[in-house]
Amino acid sequence: METQTKAENIFQLKSADASNFEWESITKVWHIPGGLGSSGVFLANGPQGAVVLKPVRSSACSEVFASRIAKHIGLQAPSIRILSKDDYRAAMRSMRSSLFSPPGDKHRLQDQRLQELLLIEYVAGVPLYLSQSFKAELEKSTENFGEGYDCVILKQLGEICALDMLLNNMDRIPFAHKNEGNISNVIVGHDNTVYAIDQALMVIKNENMRAGYCAALKAALAEAQSMQPGECWGRVKKHLCENTGIKVEDHCSQPFYRGILDCHKKITTRLDVSSSTGEGSSIDIIRKKVYSEFMAVRGPGPFFKEGMACVDIDFLTHVLTSILS
């Protein structure tokens, strides 16, 4: 009962302006558990609305960079920025004096991993696995199959999968990736806009593994281009069925594939590769902007050095040139 009440309260919150949030306005905080090895996130609410505060370490630069890539392509993703030291102290001080729900979760503020925080825009909506709109859309698509009805949510899921293929993000919907995925990183807004949350860039350094990954991407794209349900769609279908309890038919692969192909086109046109090293490309420009932002807010140091090392444009350039060849 408590979990249900907690969820209902969270989903009814409004989103605050994350660019101008007043820390002293926080009145209530929820801790949302994360996956294995994760500290989860804190959802802070007040009269202005809600924001998300995520404990991070060296992954901060990579997550901000991946979020900027998503927005540059044109996908829906929450705004995100690293907190300055002053903002970090103000946020922690305000959360310590706020009401936690449940009260016992306040001890999580003592976690030693809470050394840095990302401020993330709160997305008003529900996780895909709880979305009644998604269920209604799938049911309607079955009733109207053959009449040209398109699943707008499934199409947006395809777009997000194309982004994750570029970034090697395995923590969402498994299409090119042969893993369990994490459907909770997809939020359906109240207007059926689908948001990708918790971005990640997972760089592959080993040349053989990188070549294998690019081969898997080509196979996944070929399946989408054929518009014929295959192994990759089978993983998506299984994942959606197991996590939503909704029966997903093979004809639902069509809007999903269209989403992948539409986003793939955006990726190849908006993320130009100007040289073999990626220098001067839009990817390089985004990286430099993230670099400048972190330098201005945090300054040089181990946290910054380790974080920017994770933002490897050589990997993205390799992936882009591979799928374009």
In order, the DSSP letters of 7-26 are: HHHHHTPPBP-GGG--GGG-
Measured CA to CA, the distance from residue 325 to residue 318 in angstroms comes to 11
Banded pLDDT at 5 (limits 50, 70, 90): very low
pLDDT at position 304: 63
- What is the C-alpha to C-alpha distance for residues 281 and 223, in angstroms, rounded to an integer? 29
Tokens of 53: 């505060």
CA distance linking residue 133 with residue 148, whole number of Å: 19
| Cα R_g (the chain), whole angstroms | 20
DSSP state of 100: E
Distances 22 to 46, 47, 240, 297 between C-alpha atoms, Å: 9, 10, 38, 18
Of residues 306 and 175, more confidence is placed in 175
Backbone angles phi, psi at 127, to 5 degrees: -60, 150
Q: What's the maximum distance between 2 C-alpha atoms anywhere in the chain?
A: 59
* Residue partners of 104: CB distance under 8 A and separation at least 6: none
What's CA 99's distance to the chain center, in Å? 28
Please determine, for residue 201, whether its predicted confidence score (pLDDT) is greater than 70.
yes
Residues composing the chain: 325
* Lowest-confidence pick of 86-95, 108-117, 164-173: 108-117
pLDDT at 171 over 70: yes
Task: Note the pTM of the prediction, 2 decimals.
Answer: 0.90
Residue 307, pLDDT > 80, answer: no
Percent of the chain with pLDDT over 70: 89
Determine the average pLDDT of the residues in 50-68.
89
Contact 48, 21 (CB under 8 A): yes
